[in-house]
Amino acid sequence: MKPLAFISAVVLTATAALAQETGKLTIDIPAAVQATLAKEKGDTGKVIEFKRLNDNDGAAYAITLELDGKPYEMILDGAGRVMRKEMITGEPQENGVDVHKLPEAIKKTFYREAVGAALKTVQVREEKKTYRTEIVINRRKYSIEVDAAGKLISKRFEGEDDGN
């Protein structure tokens, strides 16, 4: 066996043994992805989960972060560009209200659309006020949504800016 081939075999065997010992699978993460991740999580955020996606047609990465005590899902492309960053929330809060306690205009519409079917309770969804804008960063369009307290709800890649 040639010395270089022998050294390579020893290194591969040692790496495989180390991976088996720790029980963790390791992947190579491009420097650009690492840099973006470090910037997005800042000093106080932490990575909860990291997954590599789309091995066949260009890698993308799904990361779950905790920022300011809130969970976020972030998708990065292989070049480390943010494709999406969203706060993970449950379904909007809904409260059941007796149909007789609704404003007249709402009752009228429900009764008209129900065409004689019995109505008992109506689910009322309490939506919170949010702020949304669109920006261009390095010729890439993003939409950003923030809640009334200033917490990021989402940042989404919307496509390339054509300059118009």
Residues 37 and 66 in one domain: yes
Instruction: Check: CB of residue 119 under 8 Å from CB of residue 110.
Output: yes
pLDDT for position 48: 92
Between 125 and 107, residue with greater pLDDT = 107
Domain carrying residue 78: 3-92+127-160
Residues 75 and 32 in one domain: yes
Buried residues in 84-117 as b, exposed as e (16+ CB within 10 A): bbbbeeeeeeeeeeeeeebeeeeeeeeeeeeeee
Measured CA to CA, the distance from residue 26 to residue 19 in angstroms comes to 8
Between 152 and 63, residue with greater pLDDT = 63
**Total structural domains in the chain?**
2
Measured CA to CA, the distance from residue 113 to residue 73 in angstroms comes to 39
Residues 18 and 71 in one domain: yes
Instruction: Check: CB of residue 90 under 8 Å from CB of residue 42.
Output: no
Residues 109 and 132 in one domain: no
Per-residue pLDDT band at 5 (split at 50, 70, 90):
very low
Residues 118 and 44 in one domain: no
Across the beta sheet with 140-147, what order do the strands follow?
A: 46-53, 60-67, 70-77, 82-87, 152-160, 140-147, 130-137
pLDDT (average), residues 33-39: 92
